[in-house]
C-alpha cells in the first residue's frame, strides 16, 4: 500500500518536477483552529507505513510524524483560528491555513497537489485529488503532520480550559463535548458559527 503512494508521487514528479502535497485537519470540530500541512519529499525518500492519517492509530501517527519531519525535504504547518473560521466560514479558513502552510515551506515548489476537490488558491499550479491522502505519499504525510499537530494543540488547550475535556474529543462534536458546552457555555476558542444549531 505504502509503495503505491510513493510510486504515485515518483511518477507525478517525473512529469511535473518537485511538488508539495497539502492536506488539512480539523474542519469538523466545534472548537480550535483548523490546521493544514504542506510536505515536499525528494525522489528517493521512502517511509514505510505512511497512509491516510484517519486509518492510523494515534501512536502510529506520532511515530510517523517524527520520521516525516526528519526525512522530508521541507514541511510546514499553517493554521486559521476559530475567529477566522467564524469570519470567513470553514472552507475559506481552511484555504487560508493551506496558503499559510505553503508560504512557510523552506523549498517553494511551483506545483501543489491538494487533498479534496477545491483549489485553495495558492498562486501556483495546483491539482486537487479526491481522497488524495490514500493516493499520494506527500498528501498522506501532510495529513499526518496536520492531524498530529492539531491534536497536540488541542491537548494544550485542554490544560488551559480543563472543563471542556478537549484532550478526550479534540473539539469534535461528541455527546460529552455538547454537554460541557451546555454546562459552561462556549470558551474563547469555540467556533461560534458552529454552535448556532445547538438547542
User: Is residue 199 pLDDT above 60, yes or no?
Assistant: no
Q: What is the pLDDT of residue 2?
A: 80
Enumerate helices (H) and strands (E) in the chain, giving the number of each: 7, 5
Mean pLDDT over all residues of the chain?
Answer: 95
User: Is residue 1 pLDDT above 80, yes or no?
Assistant: no
Delimit the domains of the chain by residue range. Answer: 2-153
pTM equals 0.96
| Domain 2-153 coded CATH 3.40.50.1100 | no
**Whole-number Cα distances in Å, 9 to 52, 159, 182:** 15, 39, 46
Residue 81 and residue 35 in contact, taking contact as beta carbons nearer than 8 Å: no
pLDDT tens digits, one per residue of 20-30: 999 999 999 99
pLDDT tens digits, one per residue of 135-193: 999 999 999 999 999 999 999 999 999 999 999 999 999 999 999 999 999 999 999 99
Amino acid at each position: 500500500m505504502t509503495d503505491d503512494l510513493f510510486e504515485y508521487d515518483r511518477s507525478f514528479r517525473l512529469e511535473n518536477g518537485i511538488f508539495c502535497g497539502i492536506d488539512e485537519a480539523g474542519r469538523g470540530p466545534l472548537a480550535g483552529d483548523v490546521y493544514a500541512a504542506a510536505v515536499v519529499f525528494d525522489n528517493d525518500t521512502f517511509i514505510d507505513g505512511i497512509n491516510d492519517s484517519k486509518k492510523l492509530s494515534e501512536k502510529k501517527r506520532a511515530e510517523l510524524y517524527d520520521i516525516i519531519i526528519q526525512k522530508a525535504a521541507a514541511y510546514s504547518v499553517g493554521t486559521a483560528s476559530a475567529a477566522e473560521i467564524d469570519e470567513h466560514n470553514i472552507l475559506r479558513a481552511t484555504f487560508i491555513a493551506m496558503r499559510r502552510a505553503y508560504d512557510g515551506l523552506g523549498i517553494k515548489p511551483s506545483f501543489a497537489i491538494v487533498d479534496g476537490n477545491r483549489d485553495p488558491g495558492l498562486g501556483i499550479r495546483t491539482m486537487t485529488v479526491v481522497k488524495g491522502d490514500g493516493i499520494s505519499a506527500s498528501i498522506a504525510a501532510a495529513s499526518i503532520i496536520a492531524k498530529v499537530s492539531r491534536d497536540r494543540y488541542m491537548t494544550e488547550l485542554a490544560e488551559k480550559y480543563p472543563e471542556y475535556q478537549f484532550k478526550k474529543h479534540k473539539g469534535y462534536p461528541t455527546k460529552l463535548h455538547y454537554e460541557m458546552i451546555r454546562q459552561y457555555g462556549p470558551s474563547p476558542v469555540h467556533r461560534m458559527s458552529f454552535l448556532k444549531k445547538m438547542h
